[in-house]
Amino acid sequence: MSILSKGECEAVLDVLAQLYPGAVCALEHGSAFQLLVAVALSAQTTDKSVNKATPELFRRFPDAAAMAQADMEELQGLLKTLGMYRTKAANIKKMSEKLVSGYGGEIPGDFDGLVALPGVGRKTANVVLAVWFGEQRIPVDTHVFRVANRIGLCREKNVLDTEKALMARLPEGRWTEAHHSIIFHGRNCCRARAPECASCALGGMGLCRAAGAGGDTQPPGV
């Protein structure tokens, strides 16, 4: 299967920047802690669902110190609309306890410190580093994995290899931008089911290797 050249990859970012000029993190938050919690809660759940659950959650438990003291039954009740809410409730409480005991309630600004927290994986850490700390990162969620492999930015079989490939093929100064704009394209056009290929600007400009443009509709593993 063919993939886009590095020049074409950058052209994709230019087109997406025009299509989604306001592409930023959609998770509502007022602090690094709230962002960290929101991203952790978003696993296998839409950002819209998380944004419905977090206002009351953050009103009751606005910081790590408060969340560490939360009653588990109350936490589960606040998160019951989200998938895997029991596991997520346990994780954010344990995470908060670790933040209080190990970091004075502050969010570590480095990758190793973040992934050492309960319930925090590579994607969550990268989102926090990109959105809150301003680092150039390419967090790979389901949208980024699907779209990047489908249109031909890369051809990889898992999330980690996709992240590494995108870092190698996209300009470092545009990594975070790429993350946000690819997510927006995945939500608005290049959806998992019934992607709108006929009206896709990328396909119309020859910047897609999906079905109808010389490639497969789905990347491996999606």
- Residues catalogued as catalytic: 123, 141
CB 120 within 8 A of CB 36: yes
DSSP 3-state of 160: helix
Looking at 67-196, which runs of residues are DSSP E strands?
A: none
Give the list of residues 6+ apart from residue 111 with CB closer than 8 angstroms, or none. Answer: 125, 126, 129
Cα end-to-end distance, the chain, whole Å: 16
Q: ∠94-100-104 over CA atoms, to 5°?
A: 155
Report how far apart, in Å, the C-alpha atoms of 63 and of each of 83, 92, 133, 185 are: 23, 11, 18, 33
